[in-house]
Structure 1
Amino acid sequence: MQAKVQWVGEEKFMGTSESGHTVVMDANGGNHAVSPLENILLSLGACSSVDVVSVLEKTRQKITACSVEITSKRVDTIPRVFSEIHLHFVITGHNVAAKHVERAVALSADKYCSVAIMLEKAVNITHDFEIVEA
C-alpha cells in the first residue's frame, strides 16, 4: 500500500491514497480541515465499525445503524501522542442480542481491526456499547 501527502498551502496538506481518493488535512488543529490526529481517530472508528457491522450481519442481527463515539486523551508533553482512546458503539436495530454485539466489538478490537491492533501497542484502547431498539 502506498500514499502521497502534498503541501497545498498555509498549513493544509492533501493526502492521496493508492486507490486515488483524497483527503485534505490541516496541521493547525483542524481549523480548515481534519487534523492528522483527528484522522487517526476517524480511521480507528471506521475500521472498527466495518468489523462490528460485518460480524453482526453474519450473525443475522437486524441492525439498522451503527455509530461509534470516540473520546481520547493526549499526554501533555511533546509529542502530544494519545494515551487513551475509548470507543462507544451505538448499535440500532430490531431485537439485537447484547451477546452478539459484545462479541463483535471484542473481535474487532482483538483480532480484525488493523488500526486498533497497531495503536494498542502504544495507547490504552477501551470500548463499550449500547443497543437502541429501532
Structure 2
Amino acid sequence: MAGAAPCRPEALLPPPSNRPPARPGPLPDPHRLRLHPRLRLRPGRAQGQPLGYGDGEQPEVNLYDKNPEYHGFSSDPVVDLWNMRLAFFFGISLAIVMGSVFVHYLPDRGMRQWSRREAERRLKHLETQGLPPIAENYYDTEKIVLPRPE
C-alpha cells in the first residue's frame, strides 16, 4: 500500500464534453398531450377540453331505480348479485374454514398433550415397580407448617 497512488475523485468522473449544458425546454401544452385513442374523445366533452371537464353535465343516475337490491358492486343487476355472492363466499365462508384449520394446527401452547403423555408414562413406570400411583405421604410431613391449636 505504500507504493499505491492515492485515489483522486477526478479519475472517477467521465471526461468533459464540448456540448453546453442542456436547458429545460418549455412544458408541453396539456391540450396537445398524446392520449390513447379511446381516451381522446368522450361523450359530453368538446374538442380541445381536457379530460374531466364535461363530466358534470351528465345526469346523475340512481342505481336503486334500476336495481332495487343494489349491493354496491356493479351497475348491472346480474353482475352485482354474483359479485356480492362471491365476495361473501370468499370473505366469510373461506375465512371461517381456513381460520378454524389454522387454529386447529397451532402448536400446543398449554403443553396439555405433553403433560398427559408424561403422566401416563410415569404411571406406567410406577405400576411396573409395584408402587401405588400416589404415595400416602405425597408431601413431606416434616415440612408442612400447621397452625397452632387454640
TM-score with structure 2 setting the length: 0.22
Greater Rg, structure 1 or structure 2?
2
Flag the structure with higher strand content: 1
**Higher normalized contact order (CA 8 Å, seq sep 6+, divided by chain length):** 1
TM-score with structure 1 setting the length: 0.25
Flag the structure with higher helix content: 2
